[in-house]
Amino acid sequence: MATLGVSEAEREAIERFQRDVIEPSMTSLVMLDFWADWCAPCKQLAPVLDKIAADYADKGVKLAKVDVEADKLIAAQFRVQSIPTVYAIFQGQPVADLTSYRTEAQLKRVIDQLLGQLPIKGEAQDLAAEVEPLIAMGEQVLGEGDAARAENIFAQIREMDPDNPAVTGGLARAMVAGDKAEEARALLDSLTEDQAKHPAIARARAALEVAAAPAADVSTEEARLAANPDDHEARFAIAQARMAAGDRDAAADALLEIIARDRDWNDGAARTRFLQMLEAAGFEDPWGRAQRRRLSALLFT
DSSP 97: E
Q: How many CA atoms lie within 13 A of 232 on its CB side?
A: 17
d(CA 227, CA 56): 63
| Distance set, CA 243 to CA 31, 72, 85 (Å) | 52, 70, 58
DSSP 190: T
The answer to whether residue 63 is catalytic is no
Angle between helices 219-227 and 232-244 (to 10 degrees): 140
Q: Which of 36, 39, 73, 196 is catalytic?
A: 39
**Residue 42 CB contacts under 8 Å (≥ 6 apart), including other chains:** 33, 35, 36, 83, 84
Which of 257, 258, 276 shows the shortest CA–CA distance to 267?
A: 258
Q: Which of 30, 31, 42, 175 is catalytic?
A: 42
Angle between helices 147-160 and 165-177 (to 10 degrees): 160
d(CA 16, CA 96): 22
- Cα radius of gyration (the chain): 28
d(CA 43, CA 48): 10
The answer to whether residue 193 is catalytic is no
| Distance set, CA 175 to CA 183, 204, 210 (Å) | 7, 10, 13
Which of 299, 255, 254 shows the shortest CA–CA distance to 275?
A: 255
Which residues are identified as catalytic?
39, 42
